[in-house]
């Protein structure tokens, strides 16, 4: 990155900070919204992880010997699905097997001993299971958790960190035993120095915060 681009970027940052301070001052008399409550993930042990259905997931519902009832649906933003003979069924936060058993229970009112299989596509998952990357990542985003995911996997997915990141002051916010805890991670050592000992385990629901370095 050349000197002119760096100066322009720093100039824009100072303007943004100044405007933010002015806006905060003007809005200080307005009531604040209550803090959002972080929902604990399903597990803190990767070996015990089971995928949970979430809004945006695609569900292929196969009903044995009843092709007219079998279909594919997308989980709605409210976590529910509607399908043949089944209306407004809450499925988010369940495993595919739990969802299948729930559909069987509803269908049993119309079909004798229904056998249902649910196959998931899309793999979005509920918010409580997703991994969020904020701050000075090259491409900040939300990732669907994968079993045995590590920090190196996350960094590859987001394209690493920016030139302005203070990688060794990055932190993971995690819910452990119902309590919010924060852990430091060494992204500079991992990415720029190739120190594999800095590669740590990532869990469902983790929030990675990468701060900006101030020179």
Domain residues of the chain, as ranges?
Answer: 49-121, 130-215
User: Which pLDDT score, from 0 to 100, does residue 47 have?
Assistant: 85
pLDDT of residue 18: 54
Residue pLDDT tens, the chain, 215 long: 555 554 455 555 655 555 554 545 555 578 888 877 777 888 878 888 999 999 999 999 999 999 999 999 999 999 999 998 999 999 999 999 999 999 999 999 999 999 999 999 999 999 999 999 999 999 999 999 999 999 999 999 999 999 999 999 999 999 988 889 999 999 999 999 999 999 999 999 999 999 999 86
User: For residue 11, what pLDDT is reported?
Assistant: 57
Max CA pair span of the chain: 74
Long-range contact set of residues 11-18: C-beta below 8 Å, sequence gap at least 24: none
Q: Which CATH architecture has domain 49-121?
A: 2-Layer Sandwich (3.30)
Q: Give the CA radius of gyration of the chain.
A: 22
Place of tokens 């394209």: 159
pLDDT at 28: 57
**Phi, psi at residue 113, to the nearest 5°?**
50, 60
Residues in the chain: 215
The CA distance from 54 to 193, in Å, is 37
pLDDT value of residue 5: 52
Among candidates 157, 215, 167, which has minimal Cα distance to 191?
Answer: 167
* CA angle centred on 195, ends 191 and 198, rounded to 5°: 85
Distance, CA of 145 to CA of 49 (rounded, Å): 10
Which residue is listed with tokens 């590859």?
156
- Domain range 130-215, its CATH number among 3.40.50.720, 3.10.560.10, 3.40.50.2300, 3.90.480.10: 3.10.560.10
- Residue 68: CB atoms within 10 A of its CB come to 8
> Whole-angstrom Cα distance, residue 144 to residue 49?
13
């Amino acid at each position: 990155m050349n000197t002119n681009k760096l100066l322009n970027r720093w100039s824009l940052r100072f303007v943004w900070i100044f405007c933010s301070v002015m806006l905060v001052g003007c809005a200080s008399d307005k009531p604040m919204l209550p803090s959002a409550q972080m929902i604990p993930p399903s597990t803190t042990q990767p070996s015990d992880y089971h995928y949970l259905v979430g809004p945006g997931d695609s569900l292929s519902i196969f009903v044995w010997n009843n092709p007219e009832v079998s279909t594919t649906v997308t989980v709605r933003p409210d976590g529910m699905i509607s399908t043949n003979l089944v209306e407004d069924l809450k499925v988010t936060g369940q495993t595919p097997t739990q969802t299948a058993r729930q559909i069987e229970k509803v269908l049993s009112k119309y079909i004798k001993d229904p056998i249902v299989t649910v196959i998931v596509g899309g793999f979005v998952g509920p918010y409580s299971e997703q991994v969020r990357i904020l701050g000075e990542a090259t491409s900040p985003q939300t990732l669907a958790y994968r079993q045995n995911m590590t920090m190196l996997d996350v960094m590859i997915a987001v394209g690493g960190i920016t030139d302005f990141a203070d990688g060794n002051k990055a932190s993971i916010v995690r819910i452990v035993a119902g309590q919010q805890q924060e852990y430091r991670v060494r992204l500079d050592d991992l990415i720029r120095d190739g120190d594999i000992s800095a590669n740590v385990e990532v869990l469902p629901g983790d929030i990675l915060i990468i701060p900006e370095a101030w020179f």
